[in-house]
Structure 1
Amino acid sequence: MIPPRWGDLGLTEAQQLAHIAWDPGALEVARGLSRRLDAVLIHAPVSRLVYDCNRAPDMAGAMPARSEVHDIPGNTDISPAERLARTEAIYLPWTEGLHGLIARRIALGLRPVIVTIHSFTPVFNGKPRRVEFGVINDADAALPVAILNAARKLTRLQAELNAPYSAKDDVTHTLRVQATPYGLPNAMLEIRNDLIATAEAADAMADQLAPVLNMGLVEIQKQAKAS
């Protein structure tokens, strides 16, 4: 998760395994959805504490000095040269690779759908979170609303729109940069991580969500034809 080049960022082993460093279960769910939906999966290569690929280089959260209640010593007073080094090593290859994939699909006359997968903690700053499945939108809410409606119809998950985060929290950078400029359908999914804490649970969640995404996509296709 944290390559040797950056040491341990001054964190304990427990901190490196905690939610501050990564989204537990999210990659397993994403892999399950990728298999079930025959979708391309691109994921961040390192811990978000080294560089959070869902943040632009000028955002404090790209290389946070503090995450939740934890200080990140290795990210304190990062020099411009170090910020550039991390941006060039991690963010640029990731974002340019994703952009290239999308551009090639568009050049072929296709309209790819961009869905990002994340997980969140059941408790944040001492407050329990009731939501289990959040769907977040950037500028276009069509697909997120369709996914939300499908989740409420097909699952028993406590599903909410723009919870536990929203675009106002600067969490939709990838959608804003990669999908919104092209007018591509897009959504950000947040899954409470106690529901996907094991490989089996994550796979079961992918089983639940694959038909939800399919139903959401069918709905926006109907809307597009009707407009």
Structure 2
Amino acid sequence: MTATNAASGGRFPAVIENDDAAGRIVLVCEHASNAFPATWGDLGLTAAQRQAHIAWDPGALGLARGLAQRLGAVLVHAPVSRLIYDCNRAPDSLGAMPARSEVFDIPGNAAITPADRAARAEAVYLPFHAALHALLMQRLALGRAPVVITIHSFTPIYHGKPRSLEFGVIHDADPQLAQAILAAARAGSRLNAALNAPYSAADEVTHTLRLQATPYGLPNAMLEFRNDLIATPQAEAAMADIVAPLLAQAVSTLAPAPQAKAG
């Protein structure tokens, strides 16, 4: 197990856990942390705002760890708040360092310069995706074609409107795995589940999948869980108990991992 979350030379590398896991699944949690390193301060936010959904995906990391344990999967997650840099957004996206999130202004991002944006990308985005890419390519080279699944959570009330959805399954260009996960969820759980909800690729939420999985033909999906359902460690564990078998079933419907070619 590798777990590196300290800055190195002004860079904040990805945290990799269970990197020796034998399973095909690689879990990714881009919004795992609400840490605000001293390099950037608190961006002008209150303590309550830094704990809120705008700063991270509450429950997502605990759930991802539970799934990794149950599925024998490797887990890659980001070490800083998505308001510092959202690792599921490209460097040219305004959402990578938003000046406003939901109904909240982010003062520390309001007047960020191009040089500041580039420095944050260099410190957070580039090392995160370099580490994830290296891990995926290493597994491909070993003939263990990975299945990439990103783990997120969403707020039960968005812009004042309640959400009844409990579990969203989102896909990029290839819908096969997402459709298999949704079918397993509808057949094997009581979760209120839907495809491409509460977001879809049109909302720029599949950046990691589009960058790391789609170009290499790797099966992939993005999972969204309503965060009131994973609000405690006990709830995270209970959700992992429900969802792990669904993911295992869905992955079992995929073609076997191709073997690396000799010569």
- Tell whether the structures are fold-level matches, with TM greater than 0.5: yes
Q: What corresponds to 2:208 in structure 1? A: 174
Distance in 2 (alpha carbons) for counterparts of 1:110 and 1:215: 18
Higher helix share: 1
SS state of the match for residue 129, structure 2?
A: helix
1:121 is the counterpart of 2:149: no
After superposing on structure 2, the runs of 4+ consecutive aligned residues of structure 1 that deviate more than 4 Å are none
> How far 1:84 sits from its partner (Å)?
1.2
**How do 1:53-202 residues align onto structure 2 when only pairs under 5 Å count?**
53-202=87-236
Distance in 1 (alpha carbons) for counterparts of 2:38 and 2:189: 42
> How far 1:58 sits from its partner (Å)?
0.3
When the two chains are superposed, the root-mean-square deviation of aligned CA atoms in Å is 1.1
> How far 1:221 sits from its partner (Å)?
3.2
Partner residue of 1:217 out of 239, 248, 251:
251
> How far 1:97 sits from its partner (Å)?
0.4
Distance in 2 (alpha carbons) for counterparts of 1:108 and 1:47: 33
> How far 1:81 sits from its partner (Å)?
1.4
Distance in 1 (alpha carbons) for counterparts of 2:183 and 2:255: 15
Amino acid at match of 2:129: T
**% identical equivalent positions:** 67
1:23 is the counterpart of 2:62: no
> How far 1:53 sits from its partner (Å)?
0.4
> How far 1:17 sits from its partner (Å)?
0.3
Deviations 1:166-191 (A, max 9, x none): 00000000000000000000000000
> How far 1:38 sits from its partner (Å)?
0.8
Structure 1, unaligned runs of 5 or more: none
Amino acid at match of 1:111: A
**TM-score, normalization: structure 2?**
0.83
Partner residue of 1:43 out of 63, 67, 77:
77
Distance in 2 (alpha carbons) for counterparts of 1:220 and 1:114: 13
Distance in 1 (alpha carbons) for counterparts of 2:117 and 2:246: 39
Distance in 2 (alpha carbons) for counterparts of 1:37 and 1:49: 30
Structure 2, unaligned runs of 5 or more: 1-34, 259-263
Q: What corresponds to 2:39 in structure 1? A: 5
